[in-house]
Amino acid sequence: MHILVTGGAGYIGSHTVIELLESGHEVEIVDNLVNGEQETISQVKEISGMDIPFHEIDARNTEELIELVSKSSFDAVIHFAGLKAIGESVSDPLRYYSNNVGSTLSVLKAMQFAGIPRLIFSSSATVYGSPVELPVKETAPVGSNLTNPYGRTKFMSEEIITDLTALDSNFEASILRYFNPVGRHPSGLIGGRLLRKPDNLAPFIAGVAAEKYPYVEVFGNDYDTLDGTGVRDYIHVSDLARGHLAALENSRPGLHTYNLGTGKGTSVLELINIFGDVTGKVIPYKIANRRQGDVAESFADVTKARNELHWIAKKSVADACEDEWRWQSRRRS
């Protein structure tokens, strides 16, 4: 199949492009390089041994997208393009609504214009807000108790896709709700842009191990969990990339929503200790107050993805830490 990947130079997008190419699909990338890097595309070419057409386009630019899709016959679009830092979304909500919701509208307009029948959308478990039942199923309520604009942009985009799919019986959309992506490509070559202090826990722990930061700040140790720290479902980015391939190869008209996670939770302290075991380093940390909006536990029910997509996560949290450290170490050299 001929696939257009928006945000294909970014963290999850670039790993997915590799999976697509290795499975025999033809891929073209659209990215404005806000979160992606030109170097990443070169590294994807090096890993795959294949050439990848790259178009430096902001996915919100509907006219340029229409021009692109009018020149080629695409079978599907995988839409990653968007901003993803929760804290930044709180401090600059308009930028997030403009980018994340605006790019989804633009991509759908271009698809509708060119008659592209299939969409795979990069969503997030943040749409569940504060889950009331664990593990979290796809049937859990979404859109209520959302604590940040990032989560609301994903929820709004899902609603737009839902409405469009209801309108066109021939249109197929798969919404993939990620839990907590971690790790990098095993080659150590690609892993996304890291030009500032990371917002996510695993790369920050790696930064502490690399002595870029003095310690890990653990937000709360009084939760009702095994060790008092928050528990999350950490999924290796390569497993996540395979989930997109599985959704692409499971063609059925209509709207389909899947959780992509491991189905197991790992606490903050457990992640710190695993990273210490992998690197052979002591990872210093300090306990801080809970953050507003954080929940004690969140992990996925992945039964639907296993049964319908025949997909399961294969890599462990330790694998993710090893790959994270390999990538960090290459960046230091």
Of 150, 178, 234, 258, which is the active-site residue? 150
pLDDT single digits (tens) 52-79? 999 999 999 999 999 999 999 999 999 9
Averaged pLDDT, 87-116: 95
Residue 266 within any structural domain of the chain: no
Residue 58, pLDDT score: 97
pTM above 0.75, yes or no: yes
Residue 155 within any structural domain of the chain: yes
Residue 333 pLDDT greater than 60, yes or no: no
Residue 197, pLDDT score: 75
Evaluate whether 102 touches 60 at the Cβ level (below 8 Å). Answer: yes
User: Quick check: is 223 catalytic?
Assistant: no
Output the domain CATH number for residue 308: 3.40.50.720
Domain membership of residue 145 as a residue range? 2-182+235-261+302-313
Residue 220 pLDDT greater than 80, yes or no: yes
The domain tally of the chain equals 1
Residue 3, pLDDT score: 98
How is residue 195 written in tokens? 């030009």
Residue 248 within any structural domain of the chain: yes
- In the chain, DSSP assigns E strands to 2-6, 26-30, 54-55, 76-79, 118-124, 172-178, 180-182, 216-219, 231-232, 234-236, 254-260, 266-267, 285-288, 297-298
Residue 199 within any structural domain of the chain: no
pLDDT above 70: percentage of residues in the chain: 98
User: At 172, is the secondary structure helix, strand, or coil?
Assistant: strand
Residue 200 within any structural domain of the chain: no
- For the chain, the average pLDDT equals 93
- In this structure, of 103-117, 123-137, 299-313, the range with the lowest mean pLDDT score is 123-137
pLDDT single digits (tens) 79-93? 999 998 888 898 999
Q: How far, in Å, CA of 4 to CA of 19, rounded?
A: 14
Residue 96 pLDDT greater than 60, yes or no: yes
Residue 193, pLDDT score: 63
Residue 187 within any structural domain of the chain: no
Residue 259, pLDDT score: 98
pLDDT single digits (tens) 6-50? 999 999 999 999 999 999 999 999 999 988 888 899 999 999 999
Residue 332, pLDDT score: 59
Residue 285, pLDDT score: 97
Residue 195 pLDDT greater than 60, yes or no: no
316 or 131, which is more confident? 316
Residue 168 within any structural domain of the chain: yes
Residue 280 within any structural domain of the chain: no
pLDDT above 90: percentage of residues in the chain: 81
Evaluate whether 4 touches 28 at the Cβ level (below 8 Å). Answer: yes
Q: Where does the pLDDT of residue 145 fall: very low under 50, low under 70, confident under 90, or very high at 90 and above? A: confident
